[in-house]
Amino acid sequence: DAGITQSPRYKITETGRQVTLMCHQTWSHSYMFWYRQDLGHGLRLIYYSAAADITDKGEVPDGYVVSRSKTENFPLTLESATRSQTSVYFCATGPGLYEQYFGPGTRLTVT
Amino acid sequence: GENVEQHPSTLSVQEGDSAVIKCTYSDSASNYFPWYKQELGKGPQLIIDIRSNVGEKKDQRIAVTLNKTAKHFSLHITETQPEDSAVYFCAATNALTTDSWGKLQFGAGTQVVVTP
């Protein structure tokens, strides 16, 4: 039972390229989230989703796009990557209003 | 919006001693306060949480206390062990309003080092 997985775990890309980070959960939880983690800023919410086809912006959504056509998947796309988007990205999921469970993270480097 | 401050940023303790991490929050409407442990190279792991209708919660060697009046909450780890070494994050949110639900505001983290 993998629970929540992210792919790739590591990614290096160039400025201006489109990049998609994948998140998959096996619990059928309604809620899913994307965070970025940077030194000095802690964890910041990028986007979240309350159910399939329902998404909303978090604290730092600029430059990112999400979709959720299936309950178990929540991909995050950087349409035109910038160096400021170099970060560790975490996906999380939760069954309701409270607990959130995090994936292992994707370390993204934009050169 | 909510703002969470966490202290200290680093904490070194001897094995067997207690560790205490404190967080303050700004939004009096916040009612859910989770704590996460993050080991190197891994995602944050929920270790304990508390809701605003409870003042204290314990789970083995870990406890969390909440003071709503002062708007602060603390994580207490007793009888620390080397495997407790990690970064610990506090967070806060109002889990009962659609505007803020899910929008956990995290503290900056505390690096805990337990030396044998």
The string of pLDDT tens digits covering residues A36-63 is: 999 877 899 999 998 889 999 998 999 9
More confident residue, A1 or A2: A2
Please give the average per-residue pLDDT across A78-83, as a whole number: 97
Q: Look at A100 and B104 and tell me if their CB atoms are within 8 Å.
A: yes
pLDDT for A40 equals 74
Please give the average per-residue pLDDT across A96-109, as a whole number: 91
Please identify which residue in the block is written with the tokens 């796309």: A77
Our measurement of the distance from residue B66's CA atom to the centroid of its chain's CA atoms, rounded to an integer in Å, reads: 10
Structural contact between residues B87 and A88, judged by C-beta atoms closer than 8 angstroms:
no
Nearest Cβ partner for A48 among B32, B46, B102: B102
Taking the C-alpha atoms of residue B116 and residue B28, their distance in angstroms, rounded to an integer, is 40
pLDDT for A96 equals 76
Least confident piece of the model among A46-50, B14-18, B84-88: A46-50
Our measurement of the distance from residue B30's CA atom to the centroid of its chain's CA atoms, rounded to an integer in Å, reads: 14
Please give the average per-residue pLDDT across B35-53, as a whole number: 94
Handedness of CA A58, A62, A68, A74 (dihedral sign): negative
**Nearest by Cα to A93 from B102, B87, B39:** B102
pLDDT for A47 equals 94
- Measured between beta carbons, which residues in chain A are less than 8 angstroms from residue B102? 31, 33, 45, 48, 50, 94, 97, 100
- Which burial class, exposed, middle or buried, applies to A104 when counting CB atoms under 10 A from its CB (0-12, 13-18, 19+)? middle
Taking the C-alpha atoms of residue A73 and residue A26, their distance in angstroms, rounded to an integer, is 9
Q: Can you give the three-state secondary structure of B5-31, one letter per residue?
A: EEECCEEEEECCCCEEEEEEECCCCCC
Q: Is residue A97 less than 8 Å (CB to CB) from chain B?
A: yes
Please give the average per-residue pLDDT across B57-62, as a whole number: 96
pLDDT in tens, A17-41: 999 999 999 999 999 999 999 987 7
- Measured between beta carbons, which residues in chain B are less than 8 angstroms from residue A42? 89, 106-109
Q: How long a stretch of residues is chain B?
A: 116
Q: What is the mean pLDDT of chain B?
A: 93
Nearest Cβ partner for B106 among A40, A43, A97: A43
- Those residues with Cβ within 8 angstroms of residue B35's Cβ, 6 or more apart along the chain or in another chain: B46, B47, B48, B49, B62, B64, B75, B88, B89, B90, B91
pLDDT class of A71 with cuts at 50, 70, 90:
very high
CA distance B36 to chain A (A): 10
pLDDT in tens, A86-99: 999 999 999 877 88
Residue B14 pLDDT more than 90? yes
Nearest Cβ partner for B46 among A40, A44, A101: A101
- Those residues with Cβ within 8 angstroms of residue A43's Cβ, 6 or more apart along the chain or in another chain: A35, A36, A37, A90, B44, B89, B91, B104, B106
More confident residue, B90 or A39: B90
- Measured between beta carbons, which residues in chain A are less than 8 angstroms from residue B36? 102
Token representation of residue A56:
């909303």
φ and ψ of B74, to 5 deg: -135, 150
Write out the residues of chain B at the interface with chain A, using a CB-CB cutoff of 8 A.
Answer: 32, 34, 36, 42-46, 49, 51, 89, 91, 95-96, 101-104, 106-109
Q: Look at B101 and A99 and tell me if their CB atoms are within 8 Å.
A: no
pLDDT for A35 equals 96
pLDDT class of B98 with cuts at 50, 70, 90:
low
